[in-house]
Structure 1
Amino acid sequence: MSKILRFLRKHWITVWLVAAVLASSGVIAYASFTRVTVAKRVVSTKKGSGVLFSSNYLESSTAKNASASYYTDTNNDLVVDLYVYNYATPKTNPFYRDDNIEYTITAKMVKDINGTELTAADETVISGLTYKFGDFQFNSTNGFQTLLTGQTLNKTRSNSNHYTMTFDKSEISEVTTPRGYCIYVEAKPEYGFDLPTLKGYIGVSLSEVIDPGWRGEIVDEDGKDYDGYNYEITGNGIGVLTVTWNNTKLEPNDLIFKDSKFTFVDQDTNDSVRGGSVGSTSELIKVDGTNSSLAIRLNSSTDVIKLIQFYKVEENTYYTVAQIKGFVDSGTWDGDS
């Protein structure tokens, strides 16, 4: 068992990613800010080029909670913006240069975020309300589904296509019993073995708390025998989250400092440092006795979720998940004014 645990620790990110691939896809939106079950993970088209077919909500494999926003139209119905890119968002370069990306969009109504098919009663309700993909309104006449062919992302520049999804205002009329209808969206390339199909379930529901801010938490619910634990950061707004942990119990995976999707803040100079750049090292961790802290800059217009793996400092030491959660705080949020 100890050999297995040592192996898992050395390869924790790989093990977590393999496990994550088994998760299902989904998106949920809340009030002014939405809870979006999504992670932008797609394949690379060339060695070292990054991910060059992506979306702000759709993804090819894993799914995690994150934040986004919606707005209301003139009828007070709820509108969510969907984007598909020919680059690895949020970076606009490099972009897919081999050819124009030709793809189709499928959008259909489903009963919930799990993709449950509509019942006859659901179809009657939806036909009397406003649920749309672009100008297409879902109803019983069109089978609650549409197909958009000939979608193109031009190879000559960084490019994105914009789509809107409209949800009936009744979705947020009651906190306790939201309707919970979702739109399943799939973007499927017409050709190219190196491009994945992106997909996701998107819906809206009223939230009781809409204050901006980011927070982190250990998301593992079991595993006293684990050597490492996943600390997930979610939220909305723009600012800096400072995470503090007990350095006699836990230590973060140093590989985060090589991850360009992270932007850290030097707590002595207040300078921003992008992961993978010069100066992005574990020296950004500030030590104060048995407490260590790390400051991370976050922006919900580009960031979906952040994940840090924390390892036990002492091997073959057993803690409950409750104890592990007590060793690292949810973070101190300092939003930009």
Structure 2
Amino acid sequence: MKGTNFSTPAGFILLGFSDQPQLEMVLLLVISIIYILTLMGNTAIILVSYLNPKLHTPMYFFLSNLSFLDLCFTTCIVPQMLWNFRGPEKTISYTGCVIQLYVALGLGSTECVLLTVMAYDRFNAVCRPLHYGVIMHPKLLQQLAALAWIGGFVESTIQTILVFQLPLCSHHKVDDFMCEEPALIKIACANTTFLESELTIASVLYVVIPLGLILVSYGCIVRSVLRIKSVEGRRKAFGTCGSHLIVVVLFFGTVISVYIQPKSKYTQNHSKFITLFYTVVTPSLNPLIYTLRNKEFKWALRRLLGRDSS
């Protein structure tokens, strides 16, 4: 590109929390522990769901997809983040930044769609129990999973191309701990109105609409459950949906705070902590939320570990 005030950089400086080195050392320890727990928890869900035939159900099929997604999501962000927390060097190569944005954005978009698909699964399980096995047949499961993954990475491809076509300011300092779209837009030396409008449209398509569909599904679920006269029946019906609903609230709540809230709503550091929550903490909580509330999974895990011979 021609010009004196912008260039295509060899790399970026991820500022992160560089103005608070003591906080970075605390985060280095805490996030390392969380990352290990994330790897263990999500790997356990995938293995137990695959190895136990009783868990070859639509719910565990989608849960395994979610766990694999969370493993990839944290792995594309956390190792680089921990490396930068170790010392004053906060760099990431240009190629590394492109890959990180593409993968993280693709996985984040996929999770939005996948959580919507999981809500549809719970809707059929509660509202159409007699036809559930016919509706949620294996071919449909594969098609819905493919829709989530392909849809997520189509959006990521478009966004990544648009972001890295922008002329970037010469300092190349990204005020975040990862290559995230809002932070990269801020260092562009050009009018970003089109890209910001496009990001708004993408947020509506991948955040607002999926969340709306999830809320509609749960509205139908609540209406069906309230028709059940048995207290035990109601408890069981709500139990099948509770874990998913908690994950939806945690994930969408933080994503909306970063991508949809007005820019003046939070300070930049506050925004970084919110991003930290949905990129690091939420993937580690998903296995706990699903397994602690699920007797079927705990039984399967004990059996796999040889602690239950029944």
TM-score under structure 2 length normalisation: 0.26
TM-score under structure 1 length normalisation: 0.24
**Structure with more relative contact order (C-alpha pairs < 8 Å, separation 6 or more):** 2
Q: Which has the higher helix share?
A: 2
Q: Which has the higher strand share?
A: 1
